[in-house]
Chains A and B, each alone.
Chain A
């Protein structure tokens, strides 16, 4: 057994609790970096579930969108998402409002956003050539040398200097560093909060996700390689999107404690029904109400403990997987190059968490503006007109399109998005469009849909 110093040594043992993207990426990067500096450590990942199962048992509950920036980061790291993991490549967003629809495409005409299954597809889906995203990352971690232990961790405690991990079947083991990557839907965070006075677990809100079975060909024709986003006047609903994948379409509702009523209001909206073939929303085959992290854990670390992914700090509403990647890598770097005591994490890991937290504050402001747009019909008209015009012209700077794009995809920080909305040209153009689109003549009719129908058929 190595000396109980606050750094990783040869023979140090690390426990990663949770085999989702955060846990897998932490293990992958840590073992990679350890290898680069010739440090011999072992990583035990505790994940009792198998992501090859269909339905909620094998799923980690989210919309299943890997943002553009994350796709590129992973590609740079040498992690290519194989074709059976990517259920569909997304090229554009289609924004649906009561005043009209507009498709926002990326200028590069290439698919850079990946729609994936976190588990292996919804309940009752056929065992075709689908591969789970989480399963893929877990396998990558195993290839780097992580041991996957199929046991459910139910408790943690300090044993001298080290951390003891206890499982449901009474199995326990001691580690030099424990990494919590369970997410916020697991009871473990609650158990730990009860035990440790100085720790507050992340604050959560309820979201809704379900899957509709529509069929690959119909989806291709009807939804195309586009993610469909809705800005509707429903209070507490911040974001709603339909994400096409393979034979299924995933619906994701985010906001302030999504419940039955809100869901029903959403399904009753004509904009939503019109999006489906024949204007009829089919029965869904799979659903859940997962909780998401809306405020980070305080603190997201401790003595020989660190919380990553949703268990620690994550971006508000969007790009959770991207935040998991960033926190996982930062925690791994801290552990390998600086130390595993609370001070090391405080100095080298906490700044990232703070950065994400502060950016989320900006995010609240931006979503706040979004709420105003959702409530005010005149604002919706203005936004629609501005975006449609930008999309028609190939070379003009896409200010509104870019803002919406980055907001929907989570590809840029909220601060970045916010700053762009302060640009005088942006504000000027928006005011102009607000005025024009609400003139008596224009306001009466629904604004023309910009390039939606004909383009879809191409893909």
Chain B
């Protein structure tokens, strides 16, 4: 039938590293990858699929985007704007619960990977 959000083609950039942004994104359909690019080196952080979100840090801070998000195959992504989100949190704080849970999960994952990297360093 129909999908909500905006459609992106394979490889199209949804969010660019170092850009400013003030919204979060929720994947409606398809997949994306999160990539950090430094000095020409690419570090793939993770892959995400339907019902997962990214760009949430912009809702809480005014910093620039930490990584580039690219579509893998045709993807539909819905924007969650900051104003709407914060208003929602104000009325119902439990709205943030799921976000916090995912962020905590990601921190755990990154901590593990960092520890492993430190271990593997000569």
| Chain A hits for B43, CB < 8 A | none
Q: Which of B71-97 contact A (CB under 8 A)?
A: 78-81, 84-85, 88, 91-92, 94-95, 97
Is the Cβ of B95 less than 8 Å from the Cβ of A111? no
Is the Cβ of B1 less than 8 Å from the Cβ of A111? no
| Chain B hits for A69, CB < 8 A | 84, 88
Is the Cβ of B29 less than 8 Å from the Cβ of A75? no
| Chain A hits for B13, CB < 8 A | none
Give the residue of B26, B50, B85, B91 whose beta carbon is less than 8 angstroms from that of A326.
Answer: B91
Cα–Cα distance between A112 and B92 once the two chains are bound (Å): 21
Report the nearest A residue to B26, measured CB to CB: A75
Binding site of A, secondary structure by majority: helix, strand, loop or mixed? mixed
A71-B51 contact, Cβ under 8 Å, with A76-B88, A111-B5:
no
Is the Cβ of A109 less than 8 Å from the Cβ of B6? yes
Cα–Cα distance between A114 and B76 once the two chains are bound (Å): 14
Is the Cβ of B26 less than 8 Å from the Cβ of A87? no
A33 at the interface (CB under 8 A from B): yes
Is the Cβ of A129 less than 8 Å from the Cβ of B6? no
A130 at the interface (CB under 8 A from B): yes
Query: Which residues in B have some Cβ–Cβ distance to A below 8 Å?
Result: 1-6, 24, 26, 28-29, 50-51, 53, 78-81, 84-85, 88, 91-92, 94-95, 97-99
Is the Cβ of A112 less than 8 Å from the Cβ of B51? no
A83-B99 contact, Cβ under 8 Å, with A69-B84, A110-B78:
no
| Chain A hits for B5, CB < 8 A | 89, 110-112
Is the Cβ of B88 less than 8 Å from the Cβ of A111? no
CB distance from B97 to the nearest CB of A (A): 8
Cα–Cα distance between A330 and B91 once the two chains are bound (Å): 10
Give the residue of A80, A111, A329 whose beta carbon is less than 8 angstroms from that of B50.
Answer: A80
Cα–Cα distance between A72 and B5 once the two chains are bound (Å): 10
How many inter-chain contacts with C-beta < 8 Å in the A-B complex? Answer: 87
CB distance from A396 to the nearest CB of B (A): 19
Cα–Cα distance between A333 and B91 once the two chains are bound (Å): 12
Cα–Cα distance between A73 and B89 once the two chains are bound (Å): 10
Q: Which of A41-84 contact B (CB under 8 A)?
A: 68-69, 71-73, 75-78, 80-81, 83-84
Which 5 A-B residue pairs are closest in the complex by CB-CB distance? A110-B6, A75-B26, A86-B2, A72-B80, A89-B2
Q: What is the 8 Å Cβ interface bit string for chain A, positions 237-281, against chain B (1 contact, 0 not)?
A: 000000000100000000000000000000000000000000000
Q: How many A residues, CB 8 Å from partner?
A: 33
Report the nearest A residue to B56, measured CB to CB: A76
A112-B4 contact, Cβ under 8 Å, with A72-B80, A75-B78, A80-B50:
yes
Is the Cβ of B6 less than 8 Å from the Cβ of A108? yes
CB distance from B109 to the nearest CB of A (A): 19
A72-B85 contact, Cβ under 8 Å, with A86-B3, A112-B79:
yes
A291 at the interface (CB under 8 A from B): no
| Chain A hits for B3, CB < 8 A | 83, 86, 89, 111
Q: List 27 A-B contacts (CB under 8 A).
A: A36-B97, A69-B88, A72-B81, A73-B95, A75-B26, A75-B78, A76-B24, A76-B99, A77-B95, A78-B51, A80-B26, A81-B4, A83-B29, A87-B1, A88-B1, A88-B2, A89-B3, A108-B79, A110-B6, A111-B5, A111-B6, A112-B4, A112-B5, A114-B4, A246-B1, A333-B92, A333-B94
CB distance from B64 to the nearest CB of A (A): 20
Interface centre among A72, A81, A86, A326 (most CB of B within 10 A): A72
Give the residue of A78, A80, A111 whose beta carbon is less than 8 angstroms from that of B2.
Answer: A111
| Chain A hits for B92, CB < 8 A | 326, 329-330, 333
